[in-house]
Chain A
Amino acid sequence: MIQLPCPWCGPRNVSEFRYAGEVTPRPQPATATPEQWRRYLYVRRNPRGWTEENWYHSAGCRQFFKLRRDTDSNAVEEPR
């Protein structure tokens, strides 16, 4: 099992967390085109390598945080 560095609780088993997806910029609801909404809702970069993502420490501090992870090796970057 891999461990994730929670910025508040320190390293914890990944089973304590909920994956909340890639970090994707949210378009302005008032001005977004349907095309922009489609991309925001469905399209993911899904890279094979380093990516920035949201995680939720559901069985711990219950905070959302951003994390950089290598999807190929599951290595994670320590939070700054």
Chain B
Amino acid sequence: MAGGNNGPSNGHPSTNGHRKPGKPPRYSAFSLLKHGLAPRAEWPRAWRSPALQPSYDVVIIGGGVHGLATAYYLAANHGITNVAVLDKGYLGGGGSGRNTAILRSNYLTPEGVRFYDRSMRLYEHLAADLNFNVMFSRRGHLTLAHNDSSLRTMRWRAEVNKLQGVDSEVIGPEEIAKLVPYLDTSTSTRYPILGALYHPPGGIIRHDAVVWGYARGADSLGVHLHQNTEVTGIDVAEDRVIGVRTNRGRIATRNVVNCTAGWSSVISDMAGVELPVQTSPLQAAVTEPVRPFLDTVVVSGTLHVYVSQTDRGELVFGASVDPFTSYSMRGSLEFVEGLAGHVLELMPALSKMRLLRQWAGLCDMTPDYSPIMGATPVDGFYVDVGWGTYGFKAGPVSGEAMAECVATQRTPEIIAAFHPGRFETGQLVGEKGAAAVGH
């Protein structure tokens, strides 16, 4: 898990020493030219590696897109800069680097659609905000329906989406064939395609760049990023957080935000907070690169598969979570076999493609397929967890909302529906119809 021999990863090859605190140099066409022509072309580190301080105003556990975005917006929107982000490995080594980088907002509940749409809007100008090219590629997102009940859910989603101002419509097989010529839209397949939910704003992005951009942005505003720093305990006195213990020493703090995925139960247990979360691995795979032929994201819930082509030409395949809970991130052969079969049912022309690699990430599944966000019964302990299979696309809005939640001590309206107490009162936000395999 460690970032190689050069110490923690920072998005650039190792250079001599660390950058001084303060604003990093802006990235621009001019800086690229300057560094390209310089005799000793060394880019400064994108962020510092400061010493661990004995106390911070806010400690964020988890250095993925959620934790880093929370830190960035705490500093940028609320002026709270005495913040530490702790990660047991390297930044973006968990779910943020293991997802399939698909962005969309065509969810099923009004609360979900509003929330994810805000995230899409933040992603739209993220590259400009962070001065970091996140390679957002807006290319349209198709969720295929192979049976009547799926088609019914698509129509439902399309109407909910339109009411929230999100571009989404149900289209038929002829239009699908025009958008994705390589898709088998004939009626002779095992699961013929009856229609699809077409979501033009959907797309893909470079997930590592999002992590690095937020890390660089947060660092330049004064946030301390600590990699290889594992939390071993959370000190709670009289139902209030007073500190965090790590493998590098104790930190006194009155605010802790749990932004982990795959470790959310373990970390919350340290604070004595129970979560209705079950952790399962989700596997994905990528092929060798080929010429561009697929400029939409194609998802099939019935076949448990989604496909997109990266800017480099590789095809990225994802699936549904493994059929039982586990923290093991080992890939399995039966996954590849099943995935390949499903992909070929959709696109028979891919039969000669070769897979380059497969991997797994951990998904904290909640009973209603919506996240758990906000304050907990332990004062000063906040959660931004339960991100199941939909956490990456929600990174920016989650960071913005969690920062507001911590800074103002009030739950922002946009995440009010996701509060941890909803399982007690039965106010679930059922997103299974749009989140189960609909990345």
Contacts and interface: CB of A to CB of B under 8 A. Distances in A.
What does DSSP make chain A's interface, helix, strand, loop or mixed?
loop
Contact of B424 (A35, A48, A71): A35
A41 to B, nearest CB: 8
What does DSSP make chain B's interface, helix, strand, loop or mixed?
loop
Given A19-B325, A71-B327, A74-B326, A44 B276 contact: yes
Q: Which of B266, B326, B367, B424 has the most CB of A within 10 A?
A: B326
A43 B275 CA distance: 6
Nearest to B333: A1
Interface residues of B, number: 22
A38 B424 contact: yes
B423 A72 contact: no
B325 A46 contact: yes
B265 A47 contact: yes
Contacts of B333: 1
A34 interface: yes
Contacts of B265: 44-48
A43 B276 CA distance: 4
B334 A34 contact: no
A66 B279 CA distance: 19
A38 B423 contact: yes
A31 interface: no
Contacts of B277: 44, 46
A42 B367 contact: yes
Contacts of B334: 1, 15
Contacts of A14: 323-324
A38 B428 CA distance: 12
B325 A71 contact: yes
Q: Which of A1, A15, A71 has the most CB of B within 10 A?
A: A71
Contacts of A35: 424
Q: Which of A34, A45, A46, A71 has the most CB of B within 10 A?
A: A46
Interface string A40-80: 01111111100000000000000000000001111000000
Nearest to A75: B328
Interface in B255-282: 263, 265-266, 274-279
A18 B263 CA distance: 24
Given A44-B276, A44-B278, A34 B332 contact: no
A39 interface: yes
A14 B263 CA distance: 24
Contacts of A43: 274-276, 423
A19 B324 contact: yes
Given A1-B333, A15-B334, A71 B326 contact: yes
B327 A34 contact: no
Contacts of A72: 327-328
A53 to B, nearest CB: 8
Contact of B275 (A18, A46, A47): A46
A17 to B, nearest CB: 8
Contacts of A38: 423-424
B326 A42 contact: no
Contacts of B423: 38, 41-43
Interface of A: 1, 14-15, 18-19, 34-35, 38-39, 41-48, 71-74
- List of 3 A-B pairs having minimum Cβ-Cβ separation, nearest first: A19-B324, A42-B276, A46-B265
15 contacts: A18-B323, A19-B325, A35-B424, A38-B424, A41-B367, A41-B423, A43-B274, A43-B423, A46-B265, A47-B265, A48-B327, A71-B327, A71-B328, A72-B328, A74-B330
Given A1-B333, A46-B277, 4 more contacts: A14-B324, A48-B263, A48-B265, A74-B328
